[in-house]
Structure 1
């Protein structure tokens, strides 16, 4: 990551060559990957076999390497409609799964909690593995629980997921406390104090504005895109993007089709309306249980698969299938993701953008970004639009590592060793 030649171009100045050079010099530091929950659902929490191609997943180790990923924030997601004590237990289970994943592949992965550790892992040819909690419900309204997570290596907390917490409003729930309550402001202050990043993806704009006004360290949006390009409530408004330079934070643009494609978002809304018109219930998804002591994870995975096949995975009824046949699902593209990247750059500036794919967290991805090997495609698209190698490096990892380092510097009582 030597910056002495940033901004120069390779002898071969093709877009693909620029993308490849940027990835060699500053590999991707991705903000959000849901492999841990995919493993819970598909394997009962087993971490075996990820050193080979796993077509049922978006993520495996060979494809991470092919995609130029140098550091990954692994999401330890648990559903936001779980009661908070259950959510805390499930979060510990997911943290355990992710630690087991990292430990199982010491020649490929290395745990990191600081920017220096992440850079050292990358320099040694490992994928630096950091942890992010996706939703404040996992804290069970306890700063003690938050500090315990930090001691287990958690480096960001998304303040909400799809539902409000008692102290913060979500983008996809009815307004509750009007952004952040006094308790929510205390959570932000504690995150800053111990050096854990505040993640504003999934939050309501009122929450974002309150957090940005209160934060004493840079924030991130670990996996969000631009509302001015696609009018989805999970995306970030231009007005909030314009506040990022004053905070120093970064928005990590995501690849979720409904967030990057107006057509995909409209199709999803039309499908929901058709299900309502037909009187069809919402498709339930049950949180996969953790194997009991002594229980074979494969047996739990088979139980989960059977429940999925009988529920969300069941064939649609004929009347809905007719609608699906008449209304094919639109495909999103890397070019549309690039549109969001460029919008975020235009409003927030080059120093305040990054990438957060959300692989293994959605059922569909852009047709030319189908798995974690696809980052070179997006960078090639941006290079074809005139981005230099140095500009691509800012996007891939330089900005996020700066934010991580600055949060460490501003922490008055970090719960992990510096350096």
Structure 2
């Protein structure tokens, strides 16, 4: 730091040093700071000074140490370290039980007592650190009562469409694991008992529409999936509540219910219409996955050879999502689309169910350069549990998922990683993470690592996603105050024989 010279305000020199105290400082290298006159080293971390050389300094101006004014040390000094004894005969005779020497002893005793008092809780804290898996699980349970566990992606609504054609009247969410075809399906990992065992606080349910519906009935299918999510929650209000804001997430979590949110998976669901995007938002959708595996006319997905990312209309989609308060989800997009969206968005973005490309080079996973962009953007990558995206084979383990979490943390930071398992949309899960009941075991295993504090665990579990969502809402509110109007751009016309709208 640059020495900026004397301060503007007046400065008064310290009073002359008492000769007896000065003699004591010179001859007794104890741990005290002698009422501010000498040896102000940190006694808790430094050994005792063996010899102390003192030279007087001018009283005309205050002294500066690294640019910081020192009002009361009229002596500069330096010391070497060895013994801690005060053995000066002269000092012992003169000091007796009076003057600064007595004060020094009292101060030293008080300091030692305080140090012991601080040390005891620290020692006790070390002894009470969880040592067993059961102890760590108990801590996780307590943490998740205060901070919600939020999963970024679950495909149960699509299984409801496949297995029972969205007919919920006879669907018992507490017993589907014992019924066909759920019981034998490798794609089924979710039911009410397991959700409760997994201590889930909030879930983004996917309103997924397959790519083959693009330019056909994608909008209708998406509306039907939003409808089935809404009805599923209404049929199970004892355990679920449909939410649309961060405030509602927190409130429902405090009630002990699962806050249920809607995420639309696949930009082709929009039918190239911003009016449809706004309609989805008004129905409760709070994120849009910009693409699925297929390209749209305005954005490229993961299974593409095209190098472009977002078209001008694609950029308008991102801006309108910012205006609405809808989270931009980049899972399934090409990395060119992801980079373009990160460059356009005024709000943080997410990858709702992706992992680390450096550990498994799936096109669904996020490379390190984009992880760094996510950190700059303030977003979150929510780690997916699909074995082929975690271990690049069928035999993934819980530890493989931890490796992805730790890698993303190492590159982007602990504030930019979350959980987006993708249950019910995957048919191969890691051992130890077989279904939605296993989240606490993952968090407990992380807690065994000294690098993971309890605060870090709650950040990963859900607070990171809540922060992103709150920032998205903040951007929405600021734009509303600024009277930013809806985007009215149109996508280039698609000459589709199944559509009557050619322009």
TM category (shorter chain) comes to 0.7 to 0.9
Maintained 8 Å contact 2:156/2:205: yes
Q: 1 CA distance for matches of 2:345 and 2:424?
A: 30
CA contact (8 A) 2:214 2:269 kept: no
CA deviation map 1:360-397 (0-9, x unaligned): 00112112111100101211221122212111000001
The yes-or-no answer on 1:346 pairing with 2:410 is yes
**Greater Cα offset, 30-39 or 165-174:** 165-174
1:7-406 residue pairs with structure 2 within 5 A?
Answer: 11=128, 13-14=130-131, 15-47=136-168, 48-52=171-175, 54-55=177-178, 56=182, 57-175=188-306, 178-262=308-392, 264=393, 330-386=394-450, 387-406=452-471
Name the CA distance, whole Å, in 1 between partners of 2:126 and 2:239. 30
CA contact (8 A) 1:71 1:128 kept: yes
Q: Is the 8 A contact 1:21 1:389 kept in 2?
A: no
**Root-mean-square deviation over aligned CA pairs:** 1.7
Deviation at 1:45, TM superposition (A): 1.1
| TM-score for both structures, normalised by structure 2 | 0.66
Contact 1:10 1:18 in 2 (8 A): no
- 2:217 partner SS: helix
**Structure 1 residue 413, shift from structure 2 partner:** 4.3
Deviation readout 1:279-299 (Å, 9 max, x if unpaired): xxxxxxxxxxxxxxxxxxxxx
Q: Cα distance, 1:85 vs. partner?
A: 4.2
Regions of 4+ moved over 4 Å: 8-12
Q: How many equivalent residue pairs?
A: 340
User: Does the C-alpha gap of structure 1 residues 89 and 390 become closer, same or farther in structure 2, counting only changes over 3 Å?
Assistant: same
Provide the C-alpha distance between the structure 2 equivalents of 1:193 and 1:231, rounded to a whole number of angstroms. 34
Do the aligned partners of 1:67 and 1:372 also contact (CA within 8 Å) in 2?
Answer: yes
Q: 2:150 is paired with a residue of what secondary structure?
A: strand
What whole-Å deviation, never above 9, does each CA across 1:339-368 have from its counterpart, x for those lacking one? 000000001111111100100001121121
Match for residue 62 of structure 2?
none
Q: Which residue does 2:487 correspond to in 1?
A: none
After TM superposition, the score normalised by the length of structure 1 is 0.79
Structure 2: how far apart are the matches of 1:366 and 1:199? Answer: 24
Partners of 1:235 and 1:171 in 2: CA distance? 10
Q: CA deviation at 1:173?
A: 2.1
Match of 1:374, SS?
A: helix
Q: How many Å separate the matches in 1 of 2:342 and 2:127?
A: 39
Is contact 1:225-1:259 (8 Å) kept? Answer: yes
Preserved contact between residue 334 and residue 366 of structure 1 (Cα < 8 Å): yes
Cα deviation per residue 1:286-313 (whole Å; 9 max; x = unaligned)?
xxxxxxxxxxxxxxxxxxxxxxxxxxxx
Distance apart, 1:198 and its partner CA: 0.4
Maintained 8 Å contact 2:148/2:250? no
Alpha-carbon deviation of 1:53? 5.2
The higher-RCO structure (CA 8 Å, 6+ apart) is 1
TM-superposed CA distance for 1:72, in Å, is 0.2
Larger radius of gyration: 2
Contact 1:84–1:139 (Cα < 8 Å) also in 2? no
In 2 relative to 1, CA 237–9 (structure 1 residues): closer, same or farther, beyond 3 Å? farther
Which deviates further from its counterpart, 247-256 or 376-385?
376-385
Structure 1 residue 23: Cα displacement: 2.2
Deviation at 1:229, TM superposition (A): 0.7
Cα drift, residue 171 of structure 1 = 1.2
Instruction: Give the Å deviation of 1:43.
Output: 1.4
